[in-house]
């Protein structure tokens, strides 16, 4: 099956999710050749749900001892996606070299993925990896994806209207979707294995960043939660990764990421409820019904207004 709603022209239904074609090989390589280490940390997300932000926060927490200065921090000179690679993208080319560079990375490694929980490499699900997952209310997620892919360079931009893309989204057809199965896969895992999977929502992180950064640090057993300087350290990490601050950094204003995208398009509005400016009343009704149908009874719900 091939239907488009992706940076690349077509999506393939593969292992029960809609996979962008440019990473099918990467998914296979990830599952076959990747070896998890017990102290690895995985940042997992549905695309456009706050991945960049969570990568930055997690990188800063995990590496705070290597980079104690917030004035000369790697996040001031590198985009979070350059510091935390998405495994299925990374392993889609030059496999041998990429596996070697992964094994040479300093530990604990912080790595990323957009894959559904059911498609993660066995070595992750069976090891003592910690997974931090983020998703976002389905209304804002759709708008954020739409804005992102319409700004993609040349051939990769979508060939359909907002309304057509919305219809596909309602049918689950979106890169790494269906979005409801993606969320529910990690949600269920976070309930059965709370020490292994921490489930976060963009809206919660936005509302009380400090509280959730502390939760992440506790989940990772990070030393930053101990000692008298804990509160200041957490505040410094929150400030380092603030939307306005990251958006304003030279490194995030120019250049491309994932071939098709300008880095600056990763930092758009960073708000809860922007969807209101895009959706017609019938779209609101339709998506609300789908959210209820797919997520109702799971215990997973979202705030959709700021």
| CA separation for the pair 3, 18 (Å, rounded) | 9
Beta carbon of residue 158, minimum distance to ligand A3P (angstroms, whole number): 16
Q: What single DSSP character describes residue 226?
A: S
Site string for ligand A3P, 57-96 (x = CB under 6 A): ----------------------------------------
Active-site residue, 114 included: yes
Supply the minimum distance, in Å, between the C-beta of residue 104 and ligand A3P. Answer: 27
Q: Which of 64, 114, 182, 212 is catalytic?
A: 114
Site size toward ligand A3P (CB under 6 A) is 20
Question: DSSP state, 187?
Answer: H
Residues of this chain, 1-20, that bind ligand A3P according to CB under 6 A: none
Q: Which of 29, 31, 52, 236 binds ligand A3P (CB under 6 A)?
A: 52
151 binds ligand A3P, rule: CB under 6 A: no
CB of 262 to ligand A3P, least distance (A): 13
Give CA–CA dist 142/177, Å, rounded. 11
Residue 140 sits in the site that holds ligand A3P (CB under 6 A): yes
Minimum separation from the CB atom of position 177 to ligand A3P (A): 14
Q: Pairing relation of β-strands 41-45 and 130-135?
A: parallel
Name the phi and psi angles at 53, rounded to 5: -65, -50
Please state whether beta strands 41-45 and 2-3 pair in parallel, antiparallel, or not at all (unpaired): unpaired
Q: Looking at beta carbons only, is 193 or 291 nearer to ligand A3P?
A: 291
Interacting residues with ligand A3P between 268 and 287 (CB under 6 A): 268-270, 274
Half-sphere exposure at residue 247, Cβ-oriented, CA atoms within 13 angstroms: 9
Please select the residue that binds ligand A3P; options are 26, 31, 48, 102, rule is CB under 6 A.
48
Scanning 15-23, 51-59, 179-187, 253-261 for contacts with ligand A3P by CB under 6 A, the matching segment is 51-59
Any idea which residue has 């997952």 for tokens?
133
Of 45, 58, 85, 222, the one binding ligand A3P by CB under 6 A? 45
User: Of 45, 41, 71, 37, which is closest to residue 58 (Cα–Cα)?
Assistant: 41
In angstroms, what CA-CA distances link 26 with 33, 34, 88, 232, 275? 10, 10, 4, 40, 32
Bridge partners, residue 130, by sequence: 41
Q: 42: which strand partners?
A: 111, 131
Can you tell me which residue has the tokens 């996979």?
19
Asked if 236 is part of the footprint of ligand A3P (rule: CB under 6 A), the reply reads: no
> Closest CB to ligand A3P among 48 and 212?
48
Rounded Cα distance between 214 and 61, Å, is 9
- Judged by the rule CB under 6 A, the positions of this chain that interact with ligand A3P are 45, 47-53, 140, 144, 147, 241, 243, 246, 266-270, 274
Active site residues: 114
């Amino acid at each position: 099956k091939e239907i488009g709603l992706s940076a690349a022209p077509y999506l393939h239904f593969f292992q029960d999710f809609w996979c962008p074609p440019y990473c099918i090989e990467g998914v296979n390589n990830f599952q076959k050749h990747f070896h998890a280490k017990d102290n690895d940390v995985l940042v997992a997300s549905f695309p456009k749900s706050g991945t960049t932000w969570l990568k930055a926060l997690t990188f800063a927490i995990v590496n705070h001892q290597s980079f104690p200065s917030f004035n000369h921090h790697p996040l001031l000179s590198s985009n979070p996606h350059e510091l935390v690679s998405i495994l299925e993208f990374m392993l889609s080319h030059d496999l041998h070299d990429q596996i070697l560079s992964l094994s040479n990375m300093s530990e604990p490694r912080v790595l990323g993925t957009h894959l559904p929980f059911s498609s993660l490499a066995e070595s992750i699900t069976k090891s003592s990896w910690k997974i931090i997952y983020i998703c976002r209310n389905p209304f804002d997620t759709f708008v954020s994806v739409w804005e992102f892919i319409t700004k993609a360079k040349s051939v990769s931009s979508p060939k359909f209207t907002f309304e057509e893309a919305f219809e596909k989204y309602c049918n689950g057809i979106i890169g790494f979707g269906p979005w409801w199965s993606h969320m529910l896969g990690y949600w269920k895992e976070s309930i059965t294995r709370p020490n292994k999977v921490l489930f976060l929502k963009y809206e919660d992180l936005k509302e009380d960043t400090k509280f959730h950064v502390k939760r992440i640090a506790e989940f990772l057993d990070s030393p930053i939660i101990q000692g008298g300087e804990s509160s200041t350290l957490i505040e410094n990490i929150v400030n380092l990764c603030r939307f306005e601050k990251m958006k304003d950094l030279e490194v995030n204003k120019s250049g491309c990421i994932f071939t098709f995208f300008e880095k600056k398009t990763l930092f758009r509005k960073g708000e809860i409820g922007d969807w209101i400016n895009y959706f017609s009343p019938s779209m609101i009704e339709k998506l609300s019904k789908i959210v209820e149908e797919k997520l109702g009874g799971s215990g997973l719900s979202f705030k959709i207004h700021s």
